[in-house]
Amino acid sequence: MQEYAREVLRIMTSQVMVSKRLFFLTASIGIAMGTAGETLDQTIEKADTALYLAKKERNSAVLYTQEMEKARTRDSIMEEDLRSALENRELELYYQPIYDVRQNCINQAEALLRWNHPELGQVSPMEFIPIAERTRLIIPITEWVLREACQKLAQWNALGINGMILSVNLSFMSFENRGDELTAFVKDSIQETGIDPASLKLEITESALMHDTDETVKVFHELKCIGVKLALDDFGTGYSSFEYMKELPLDIMKLDRSLISEIIMSEKEQMIVSTMITIIHALGLEAVVEGVETEAQYALLKKYGADYIQGFLFSKPLPAEDFVEYFHSMKGQVC
């Protein structure tokens, strides 16, 4: 059965060129086996549950199992409760330090969302961001994150932590027909908190560029005029074309951690990553490498000219107070 499904996926997956832009078509398939005594509607419902998971994985075929019901229930709880999460102050930003390789110090951080759910405990953004996007709750959530990040930067400045650059992740939805609102919101948040626009970095994932590139390019140029820094996140995981990179006024490319997971053993990975860093530099941009966990990985990436390193080797994402403590404990290495 899954053989069939894979063949269907292979046929459906294709590329189409529209107005000189390349689009990638994918499909998702949910499969369920009918059992004795079950109605057709019940079997279709099971297939729908499998399809729901296939869509999350993208471009895959998934066979229904009973365990999926539990996952689905968790998802519906989250979907229902996410609406009140902002109001109930259940969202929190963690901060992961980013290490400057050349200056030998921490001078950047990434703001990463956490949801402290009263029953489910701390929920990862990998789980709830897709739900927030599906329900469009990502719009008010992104605004909350942006305002919170700007306020945190202002607080840090007041504590004497100056020159720190803080990254915020943006969803593709903040760009889709809402570019003007996003630009206005970023401008207002900077003005209200009085921070230096260059201390705010906005990240968008490579896969988000597939949604509406023309609109994204336009909004990126408007954001650039405000003076914020712009980064392409998870580089190396999607179908980025160098054409987009030419058009987007980027400052930073963030190499995804999947590119370096085997870098110590794999000469191929070494070649790919060192070449990517060379290209990034040739484009006049800086390279951040994500997911660095060992000294050996760090040594190689330093040799290849990575400008910044983000990973558990330096620190996991930390709650705000712990971040400040970490920052102070790094005295001498902080620039």
- Which residues contribute to the site for ligand C2E (CB under 6 A)? 96, 112-113, 124-126, 129, 145, 169-171, 205, 233-234, 257, 290-293, 310-312, 317
Alpha helices in the chain (DSSP H): 2-12, 40-57, 67-85, 125-134, 138-158, 179-193, 213-226, 242-247, 267-282, 295-303, 320-329
Could you tell me which residues come within 8 angstroms of residue 318 by beta carbon, excluding any fewer than 6 positions away? 94, 95, 96, 97, 326
Q: How far is the CB of 135 from ligand C2E (least distance, A)?
A: 13
Q: How far is the CB of 9 from ligand C2E (least distance, A)?
A: 25
* Residues 273/257, Cβ–Cβ less than 8 Å: no
Q: Which is nearer to ligand C2E, 8 or 264 (CB)?
A: 264
Q: Which is nearer to ligand C2E, 51 or 234 (CB)?
A: 234
Structure tokens at 56: 């999350």
| Binding partner at 310 among ligand C2E, Mg ion, none, C-beta below 5 to 8 Å by kind | ligand C2E
142 strand-pairing partners: none
Cα separation of 60 and 5, whole Å? 9
Cα separation of 116 and 35, whole Å? 40
| Binding partner at 306 among ligand C2E, Mg ion, none, C-beta below 5 to 8 Å by kind | none
Cα separation of 312 and 295, whole Å? 11
Q: Which is nearer to ligand C2E, 64 or 156 (CB)?
A: 156
Q: How far is the CB of 58 from ligand C2E (least distance, A)?
A: 15
232 strand-pairing partners: 204, 253
| Binding partner at 171 among ligand C2E, Mg ion, none, C-beta below 5 to 8 Å by kind | ligand C2E
Q: Which is nearer to ligand C2E, 30 or 97 (CB)?
A: 97
| Binding partner at 183 among Mg ion, ligand C2E, none, C-beta below 5 to 8 Å by kind | none
Q: Which is nearer to Mg ion, 28 or 199 (CB)?
A: 199
| Binding partner at 124 among Mg ion, ligand C2E, none, C-beta below 5 to 8 Å by kind | ligand C2E
Q: Which is nearer to Mg ion, 49 or 142 (CB)?
A: 142
| Binding partner at 143 among ligand C2E, Mg ion, none, C-beta below 5 to 8 Å by kind | none
* Residues 171/129, Cβ–Cβ less than 8 Å: yes
- The dihedrals phi and psi of 240, each to the nearest 5 degrees, come to -65, 140
Interface positions with Mg ion (CB under 5 A): 169, 203, 233-234, 290
Q: Which amino acid is at 83?
A: R
Q: Which is nearer to ligand C2E, 27 or 309 (CB)?
A: 309
- The dihedrals phi and psi of 96, each to the nearest 5 degrees, come to -105, 125
Q: Which residue is nearest to ligand C2E (CB)?
A: 311
Q: How far is the CB of 28 from ligand C2E (least distance, A)?
A: 21
Where is 22: in which H helix or E strand? strand 21-25
